[in-house]
Amino acid sequence: MGKRAITQAIEHTVLNRIGEHRDILVAYSGGIDSTVLVHALVRLKQQVLPELQLTAIYIHHGISTNADDWAKHCQQQCQLWQIPCVVEKVSLRLDQGNIEAQARAARYAAIAKHFNQQTILCTAQHLDDQCETFLLALKRGSGPAGLSAMPEQSLLADHLLLRPLLTICRHQIEQYAQAYHLQWIEDESNQDDHYDRNFLRLNVLPLLNQRWPHFSQMVVRSAELCQQQEQLLNELLAETLAQLTDKQKSLSIQPLLSFSAVKRNALLRMWLKCSQVIMPSRKQLAMIWQTVILAREDSNPTFLLADKQIRRYQNRLYLLPRYQDLRVNKLIWQLTNPLILPDNVGILSANSAQGNCRLPHENELVSVRFSAHGQLQIVGRNGSRSIKKLWQELNIPPWMRSRIPLIFYNETLITAVGVFVTQAGKGEQVRFIINDGDHLTSHVD
């Protein structure tokens, strides 16, 4: 295929991929791939789609000493092409390993700040990148989901992410750049085969493509088949998962016990994926099954997964944030002012309308705590019982028992906000409520 045919093919492919979208943010590193993508979009704006709103964004990672020069290069090119260019600086922790993953997460977080309602993001991954992604997933021992590699379109911060060049090989991109005499930068880190992706690009794929010229295309075909299998699996399991989950997205455990290991593992992964959690390894999945789901009934098992925790309660599985231990907190409170509670529990306030507690006496200091001991007698129930027994009777999950604000007058527990009032707090002068941004919680009368 001649250079003119190549340039026309790439521009036609990009036009088809963007479809009806007209507000495009394009990731621009200054390298050859993103340079070709931005140029192709600029050509479309100039010749076919004058209404196209096109903005380039350069992410300044600060790793290379050349990063400032690269940013300047991108700005100058965009000025030449008469499109805006945004430069976003991000910080990476070089001492925390996995720089590639850090850089990717930082890039997307910075990019998401520039979305408006109609914006889509275009990135310049191409067919050879797809092949590398597949092989990296293979190296990790991934299943069909991982081997699906990169889709042509996905979501980022609820906005569409398009990869218009995903069916275009690197050689075609080079031909396009040469045909238009484009200028691009060469990142010196691309020659460092310490990074896995560079190792494949520099040392492995050239040999494979020399032996089998269509190797990359065949790998991409396999990735597409894996995508189809994953989509089919999700469609088959979606109805079952919907039946097993409730409004709080907790998962019923009992039906899982009758499923095969393959089916229950697929459902567990799908349940986690719905909450956008990093997928557990096969070993971690087995540990969740053994140490949480199959734990003794009287135990309170917890499994930590990235920044989440998996808990079991009343034969259901819950995915929760990692909470701080609030039991050591003691907050002195003036009832006239709302009180911001720690660890995003909410904002506590006193409301005199429809009160169900008494107000403190002049000699009583009001404090808010998250732990209590001893026997209690509560309004609406005969006899006293321990607070642990009360939590159980009121079906309060273990992880919430140290997150419910307990209001004390001096050393006397008056109320667990939204749950119960003690006999010592009985009255109709004030009601304590929490506004956590999602809903209002008030006392159970």
Please name each of the domains of the chain with its CATH number.
Answer: 3-216 (3.40.50.620), 245-321 (1.20.59.20), 330-441 (no CATH)
Q: Give the pLDDT confidence of 303-320 residue by residue, as tens digits.
A: 999 889 999 999 999 999
SS3 call for 9: helix
Give the pLDDT band (50/70/90) at residue 148. confident
* More confidently predicted of 95 and 291: 291
- What average pLDDT score do residues 86-102 get? 70
pLDDT at 439: 42
Both structure tokens of 88: 């976003």
pLDDT at 95: 57
Provide the whole-model pTM.
0.72
Is 154 among the annotated ligand-binding positions?
no
SS3 call for 204: helix
Across 6-10, 149-153, 433-437, least confident range:
433-437
Q: What residues contact residue 120 under an 8 Å CB cut-off, 6+ apart?
A: 18, 21, 23, 24, 25, 159, 160, 161, 162
Buried b (16+ CB within 10 A) or exposed e, 241-272: beebbeeeebbebeebeeeeeeebbbbbbbbb
- What average pLDDT score do residues 323-348 get? 93
Q: Give the pLDDT confidence of 24-43 residue by residue, as tens digits.
A: 999 999 999 999 999 999 99
Report the mean per-residue pLDDT for the chain: 89
Is 439 exposed, middle or buried, given 0-12, 13-18 or 19+ CB atoms closer than 10 A? Answer: exposed
Is 129 among the annotated ligand-binding positions?
no
- What average pLDDT score do residues 339-364 get? 92
pLDDT over 50 (residue 443): no
pLDDT over 90 (residue 96): no
* More confidently predicted of 186 and 51: 51
pLDDT at 445: 36
Give the pLDDT band (50/70/90) at residue 244. very high
- What average pLDDT score do residues 48-56 get? 93
pLDDT over 60 (residue 427): yes
Instruction: Give the separation between CA 431 and CA 415, rounded to whole angstroms.
Output: 10
How many alpha carbons fall within 13 Å on the CB side of residue 428? 1
Q: Give the pLDDT confidence of 151-205 residue by residue, as tens digits.
A: 888 888 778 999 999 999 999 999 999 999 999 998 777 788 888 889 999 899 9
Instruction: Give the separation between CA 430 and CA 247, rounded to whole angstroms.
Output: 31
Q: Give the pLDDT confidence of 295-305 residue by residue, as tens digits.
A: 998 888 999 99
- What average pLDDT score do residues 275-290 get? 89
pLDDT at 441: 43
Instruction: Give the separation between CA 39 and CA 54, rounded to whole angstroms.
Output: 11
Is 442 among the annotated ligand-binding positions?
no
pLDDT at 61: 74
* More confidently predicted of 16 and 116: 16
pLDDT over 70 (residue 137): yes
User: Kind of pairing, strands 120-122 and 159-162?
Assistant: parallel
Is 30 among the annotated ligand-binding positions?
yes
pLDDT over 70 (residue 118): yes
Give the pLDDT band (50/70/90) at residue 260. very high
Both structure tokens of 324: 């701080």
Is 250 among the annotated ligand-binding positions?
no
What proportion of the chain, given as a percentage, has pLDDT over 70? Answer: 95
Is 29 among the annotated ligand-binding positions?
yes
pLDDT at 405: 96
